[in-house]
Every structure is written in structure tokens, then in C-alpha cells.
Amino acid sequence: MSKRVGIEVSIAISEAVGLAKAEVIPAYPITPQTHIVEHLSEMVANGELDAEFVPVESEHAAMSCCCGAVAAGARVFSSTSSQGLSLMSEILYIPSTMRLPMVVVVANRALSAPISIWNDHQDIMIQRDIGWIQTFAENGQEAVDLTLHAFRVSEDRNVSLPMMVNIDGFTLSHVIEPIELPDQEEVDKYLPPFKPRYKMDPRRPISMGPVGIPEVYTEAKVAHDMAMKKAKRYILKAWNEFAEIFGRKYDPVASYRTEDAEVLLVTMGSISETAMTAVDTMRDAGQKVGLLKIRLWRPFPGQEFRKAVGKTKVLAVIDRCLPPGALCGPVGAELRSLFYKIPGSPKIFSFVAGLGGRDVTVERFEEIVDKARAYAKKRPRELYEVIGVREK
């Protein structure tokens, strides 16, 4: 039987990784990811988890070590944040095209400069094209569930892609929440042992990671792209099976009070919880406002998103990332291209908020909705707006 406990989200994620029986865990410490790997190394040290914890000397080495371990046939987990994720970046593109399944939890944090340990999504957004499946958790329960789901999807032979679960640093990683931790039997039912299609075995030698001459490089990349697109089906299937076993149902795009909405907020990650409160407040005041929460970021669930928007005419998209000199934040850009030249498509207004740990309050969401309504009547001068910038 699963048990409901008050537990720090990071610890709960480590427990999930333990339930998934991860076998190799290469990790390097970085705030705010530390509690996850600390607890895992404790579990290994106490013999609660039969795994190799490899305390590598950098995140770059962590990801490299992950690649070697998966290629040798082990179930692999790691976790990082911010600068650490950036340091991994060179390697991140490699296991995805090489189709090496693994799970990495990213405790999202701002990027330097100025150095900031606090939460936003800039670290993951510059990694959006690494070809990994990427999900975003809204709360602690989701963080645990998405971690288990990630192992299941990543290792599915129809998918065989690495997977990243994003949890907001501090706002999720360091809070204590009531979380339902599944029991081993249920997890075993959900997650079969890892059986890689290919691995490095002297009895059956193969060469992995060869040179891609111009005659094959395009095909390798297209194969990867096709795999990502095909993966969606198995991501959804794994969520459905998750619901059957654990009773919690997840969708790539979650809707909250979207019925007859005139304006829809679009969020990712933990600010969705505040956004729900904001929607409740505005609904109480008679405003027709709803919320869409993007849970699956890559592959982007375009079809599901369009369906979730329905007939709503105004979208207020919140990015937690400010790419200097770009036309707007990455989520805004994604949605604009999704709806480009589609008849009857909504007006999309892009907002940037919550950088480097700045709180996005209920009032800020109300301000965003007010602005979106006003811009729907009179087109704004800029393609995006940063919310909550101090004048002085």
C-alpha cells in the first residue's frame, strides 16, 4: 500500500528513484539539487539501494558517466541545476541521438550573471533542443510521479530516449509537502526491469557513437526527430497506465476552469499553483479566466494544446526565461508558431515573470490578465513584456 507522508520534495524524489531501483547514479552537487543526491548517496551507503553512486568531479563528467553506464546496460539517474546543466550541455545532445535512456531531474534555477541560486526556467530553456523528453512538475506529488513515469517512458523500447523532469528549485525542491509514496510492489508492476536493446557486451560487440559522414548524418537526426514525435503516444500510454495503478491521471496539457474562459493564462511548473488561486479569485469576481498548464514540453503536445485552448480568444503566456534580443520568451514563441495563420486562432500575449526567484503573486497574475485584455483591444507596441520590474 502506498503511504501518505509529510516529506521534503527532494527526499521524495530520491525515494522514487530508489523505488525505481536505479543502478548507477553519477552526480555532482549544485544548489538546489543537492538534497536529491545527498539522500540517494545515503540510501546507497545504508544498503537500502543496491546502486553505484559515482561522486564525479563535474556535471560534464556526470553526464559522460551516465552515457557509459547506460551503454553498459544499467538503469541510470542523475540530477542537476542551472550552471551544472549548462556544463553538461555539450554531452546532453549525445545520449538522445544515440538513444540511451536515462532520467535526470533538474531543479530549475537561474543562470549567471549575476549569480543567483533561485528559481526560474532559464537553465532548461537553453537546453530545449537537446532532444530529450522534458516534463515539468507542478507540485511535490507530481515530481515523484513524473520521475517514475520518466523511467518507464525513457526505457520503453519504442521510445529509448533520455528524459528530463523539471522541478522548480527551492519552491519545489525544498518544501515539505504531503506526498503519497507508492509501495515497491506497485512500482515493480509499473516499471519492468531495464532491458536495453543494445549494450556493450564483449559476447556481442557493437560500435556505438561512430562518425556520421554527410551521407548518414541527416538520416540520424531525422530518425531522432521521428523518435521524439513517436514518443508522445508512449508518454500518454504510460500516464494512462500510471492512473490505473496509482489513481492519479496526468495529461500533457492540464486545464483549470477553462470552460467559457475569455482569457487563458499559460504556465509551466510550480507557479501554476499560484495561478490556480489567481484564477479562483478572478472567477469569484466574475471574470471569465482559466488556466492551461504545460506539463509535457518536449515533444511539444501541439494537438492537445490547441484542443485545450478551445474557443478562447486570448492567451496570456508566462515565460520564466528572458532571452535577450529575442522576439519573446520560448514558450510564447512556441505557441505563436503553433497558432500561426490558423483560422480563428487566439491572440497570444507574451509575458516574462518570476526571474531569479522573484515571486509571481496572485496580484501579478491579475495584472497579466488585465494587460492581456487591454492588448486584445489595442495591440501592444512590444511582442512581450516583463512583469514586476522595479522602477527604482
Partner 1 sequence: MIPEFEKFKGFKAKNLPKEEPLSSGHRACQGCGEVLALRMVMKALGKDVIVCNATGCMEIITSPYPHTAWKVPWIHIAFENSASVASGVEAARKVLARKGKIPKKHVDILAVGGDGATGDIGLQFISGAMERGHDFLYVCLDNEAYMNTGVQRSGCTPYGAMTTTSPPGKKSFGQVTWKKNVPAIMVAHNIPYVATASPAYFLDLMNKVKKAALVKGPAYVHIYSPCPTGWGSAGERSIEISRLAVETKVFPLYEVIEGRYIISRKITKPKPVTEYLKGQRRFRHLDEDHIEYIQRRVDAEYEKLLRLSEMA
CB of 223 to partner 1, least distance (A): 12
User: Which residues are registered as beta bridge partners of 177?
Assistant: 7
Residue 340: partners with Cβ closer than 8 Å, 6 or more residues away: none
- Binding partner 1 by CB under 8 A: which of 30, 71, 235, 278? 71
Residue 106: partners with Cβ closer than 8 Å, 6 or more residues away: 33, 79, 80, 81, 85, 123, 124, 164, 165, 166, 167
* DSSP for 55-82, written as a single string: --SSHHHHHHHHHHHHHTT--BEEEE-H
- Binding partner 1 by CB under 8 A: which of 5, 117, 175, 200? 200
* Binders of partner 1 in range 291-310 (CB under 8 A): none
Rounded Cα distance, 103 and 143, in Å: 13
Rounded Cα distance, 177 and 179, in Å: 6
Is the separation of the CB atoms in 266 and 335 below 8 Å?
yes
CB of 199 to partner 1, least distance (A): 8
Rounded Cα distance, 376 and 229, in Å: 33
Q: What are phi and psi of 272, to 5 degrees?
A: -60, -30
User: Which residues are registered as beta bridge partners of 351?
Assistant: 318, 385
Which is nearest to 21 in space by CA: 138, 240, 136, 193? 193
Rounded Cα distance, 174 and 11, in Å: 9
Q: How many residues bind partner 1 (CB under 8 A)?
A: 42
Please say which residue, 25 or 261, places its beta carbon nearer to partner 1.
Answer: 25
* Binders of partner 1 in range 90-109 (CB under 8 A): 90-91, 94
Please say which residue, 51 or 144, places its beta carbon nearer to partner 1.
Answer: 51
Please say which residue, 129 or 201, places its beta carbon nearer to partner 1.
Answer: 201
Under rule CB under 8 A, residue 213 binds partner 1: yes
Q: Is residue 19 exposed (0-12), middle (13-18) or buried (19+ Cβ within 10 Å)? A: buried
Please say which residue, 52 or 367, places its beta carbon nearer to partner 1.
Answer: 52
Please say which residue, 101 or 329, places its beta carbon nearer to partner 1.
Answer: 101
- Binding partner 1 by CB under 8 A: which of 48, 185, 201, 359? 201
Cell numbers standing for residue 172: 519545489
For residue 168, the SS3 value is: strand
**Owner of C-alpha cell 543494445:** 198
Span from 146-154, 184-192, 194-202, 309-317 in contact with partner 1 (CB under 8 A): 194-202
- Binding partner 1 by CB under 8 A: which of 45, 115, 176, 216? 216
Please say which residue, 67 or 268, places its beta carbon nearer to partner 1.
Answer: 67
CB of 208 to partner 1, least distance (A): 4
CB of 161 to partner 1, least distance (A): 16
Please say which residue, 76 or 164, places its beta carbon nearer to partner 1.
Answer: 76
Rounded Cα distance, 171 and 168, in Å: 6
User: Quick one: DSSP state of residue 301?
Assistant: -
- Binding partner 1 by CB under 8 A: which of 5, 72, 245, 326? 72
Please say which residue, 12 or 51, places its beta carbon nearer to partner 1.
Answer: 51
* Binders of partner 1 in range 10-69 (CB under 8 A): 23-24, 26, 50-52, 54-58, 60-62, 64-69
Please say which residue, 3 or 197, places its beta carbon nearer to partner 1.
Answer: 197
> Under the rule (CB under 8 A), what is the footprint of partner 1?
23-24, 26, 50-52, 54-58, 60-62, 64-74, 76, 90-91, 94, 200-202, 205-213, 216
